[in-house]
Structure 1
Amino acid sequence: MDIVMEDIDGFHATRALREDPSTEHIPVVVVSSKNQKADKMWAQLQGAKGYVVKPYADADILKYIKQLVDGEAV
């Protein structure tokens, strides 16, 4: 999930996914150029399971996916 999007920001979209019973189980990993501690904390409060800062290496994203698939805490 990106934070900066046109019609709805990623924080709102993540919160909407968490609030909908049909999508609440989908883990969200934020991928954003925003690198402030407050952004990371707010994403977590909205229900994000991880946060990767752009630019990133493929290994960064794959690490989160593997942890989520394996049921590990991210």
Structure 2
Amino acid sequence: MTRTLRPQSTPDALMCLLREQQLVRSADRASDGSWLVLRSTYGPKRALDGPLDIVDFALDVLLDHKLELEDQAA
């Protein structure tokens, strides 16, 4: 059974969504509120320091996923 943490903010909720939907390989929240994310198996780890970085990253991932789904449907 997996443990689900309750998001404390919108950026946290976005990162939890990306992780639960397996749109990122890993996403770990630090005690200072930043996130360390790995988007693909062989990609670089990225540190997302603030809410703006987190929301921008999440929107990029969601847009890429949307485009992939549109390509599959075509």
Tell me which of the two structures has the higher relative contact order, counting C-alpha pairs closer than 8 angstroms and 6 or more residues apart. Answer: 1
TM-score, normalised via structure 2 length: 0.30
- Structure showing the higher strand proportion among its residues: 2
Larger Rg: 2
